[in-house]
Structure 1
Amino acid sequence: MNTIGLFGVLAGSAVAIAFFLSSFFLGLKRREDPQNLWLGLILLAIGLRVGKSIFYFLLNDMAPFGLALGFLGLASIGPLVWMMVRHASGFRLENSWNFIIPVLGSVVCYIVSPSPWETYLYESATILMSIYLGFSWWYLVNSDKSIYNSWNRRILIMATGVLVALAYQHFADSMMDYAWGAIVAAVFLYWVFIQSFRFGVFPKGIAVTLPEQIVNQVRDAFENQKLFKEQGMNLQQFATKLEVPSYLVTRSVKQLYDRSFPETLNHFRVEEIKQMLLDPKKEHLKIESLAYDVGFVYPSAFYAAFKKYTGQTPTTYQKEASLLSA
């Protein structure tokens, strides 16, 4: 096997890892933390872009389709990283404009192939990716330091490394140079795969006896420190603040409250706002403002959670509680 063939095998394995991690985060891990939606989609997008080269050279008859998928992946990486860094809990209509270029560009790429326009489209998508990643770094560096040091930073490092590798490919003068770009991108995918073990992403096959100290630490964080009130709080941020592996946080929460982490987060937020709704000193405040104060980012998420845990709307709850106390 020649060097280019070896690089192809290594890059192909990295693409398989990207798709495996993507399916894992979009499936099992998404139930633990809604933000894993973005992480899964980022890995899928990178897998599509890195896999484009393999697809293009192995299945030349289907090159237009492979190029279109590769463009969709490349142009989507930046917007997806931006969504993740901003701690968006799910896809919302107001975010959809970020994905107009990836979708329309992939269609155009399929139509014009084969054509020199393919190169221009890919170069434009790479520039777009660099702009999004630049803003993402700026936002992350200027955010809370516990967020900066979290899993998000490692994903952003991976995306930036992939960007550098793909940008290098645009200047490649030979097939070997192009292959080097693919292998560098693959190295960053391997790195994230290794990091996922360090961060306790995969469930442990052997039962773990939870240390009492960690269980108490998690309880204190919810009941006394009230970390749930921090905007955009998620499992990884919570674990980072406590300096405890995320899987131990998840198991501690399950043991303490018999709920998943997101459910526990919303439960405590709803309990907090129930008290605020009955406080005469806060009667003049809007309910949405109170929801923001206890950690909810979107009003729709607050109303859905409140209805789930109380069976009532906040206004109905407030009125009925006032009548009972009269």
Structure 2
Amino acid sequence: MTDNQEDKEAIYRKLVRPKMMFDLKKRIIEHLLVKKKYKDLSYTAKQMAEELGTNVRYISAVLHVEFHTNYTTLVNKYRIDEAKILLTNTRYEELNVEEIGDMVGFAHRQTFHTAFVKFTGMTPRAYREKYKSKRIPPSKKNKK
């Protein structure tokens, strides 16, 4: 961590009390992961702050201190994590990469591609090919 990052983290830690930090972290995870808000193209940190009854500065502080990232990067990480699952699930093998990107919340093919490479080091297509033999078959309960 650079001196600037350490300074920022110290400022954020002073801004938000530890109990509030812990509570907001749990609520952010619930909103983004459990409710899958990361899939919503128009969902912003401001909207999340309003729904959680707080402000964007507190959301940013929690993201920085607890997740070591910002809102956009965290949302994209969750999107890419889901895309990796879909790309390796035989249930979605007929979908092209762009459709997978749409399903997980990316508005543009290039944004999806860039984020995927950032988090995995390879393109979505290359990822799908690499893990083709390890694909997840659809569950038996989903079969008719």
TM-score greater than 0.5 by the shorter chain: yes
Q: 2:113 is matched by which residue type in structure 1?
A: Y
Give the aligned partner of residue 287 of structure 1: 97
Give the aligned partner of residue 209 of structure 1: 17
Normalising by structure 1, we get a TM-score of 0.35
Query: Which structure has the greater CA radius of gyration?
Result: 1
**C-alpha separation between the residues in 2 aligned to 1:256 and 1:219?**
11
Mapping of residues 1-326 of structure 1, within 5 Å: 206-210=14-18, 211=20, 212-324=22-134
* Distance change >3 Å, CA 229–CA 278, structure 1 → 2: same
Preserved contact between residue 88 and residue 134 of structure 2 (Cα < 8 Å) = no
**C-alpha separation between the residues in 2 aligned to 1:282 and 1:290?**
8
- Alpha-carbon offset, residue 319 of structure 1: 0.7
Preserved contact between residue 232 and residue 297 of structure 1 (Cα < 8 Å) = no
Identity %: 21
**C-alpha separation between the residues in 1 aligned to 2:16 and 2:62?**
11
- Alpha-carbon offset, residue 289 of structure 1: 1.5
CA RMSD of aligned residues (A): 2.3
Q: 1:215 is matched by which residue type in structure 2?
A: K
Q: How many residues are aligned here?
A: 124
* Distance change >3 Å, CA 294–CA 241, structure 1 → 2: farther
Q: Kindly provide the CA deviation profile for residues 26-45 of structure 1, in whole angstroms up to 9, marking residues without a partner as x.
A: xxxxxxxxxxxxxxxxxxxx
Normalising by structure 2, we get a TM-score of 0.76
Preserved contact between residue 229 and residue 293 of structure 1 (Cα < 8 Å) = yes
**C-alpha separation between the residues in 1 aligned to 2:87 and 2:55?**
35
Return the structure number with greater relative CO, CA threshold 8 A, min gap 6.
Answer: 2
**C-alpha separation between the residues in 2 aligned to 1:269 and 1:207?**
29
Q: Kindly provide the CA deviation profile for residues 214-249 of structure 1, in whole angstroms up to 9, marking residues without a partner as x.
A: 221112112211211112322212222323211111
Q: Kindly provide the CA deviation profile for residues 126-167 of structure 1, in whole angstroms up to 9, marking residues without a partner as x.
A: xxxxxxxxxxxxxxxxxxxxxxxxxxxxxxxxxxxxxxxxxx
- Alpha-carbon offset, residue 263 of structure 1: 0.7
**C-alpha separation between the residues in 2 aligned to 1:226 and 1:244?**
20
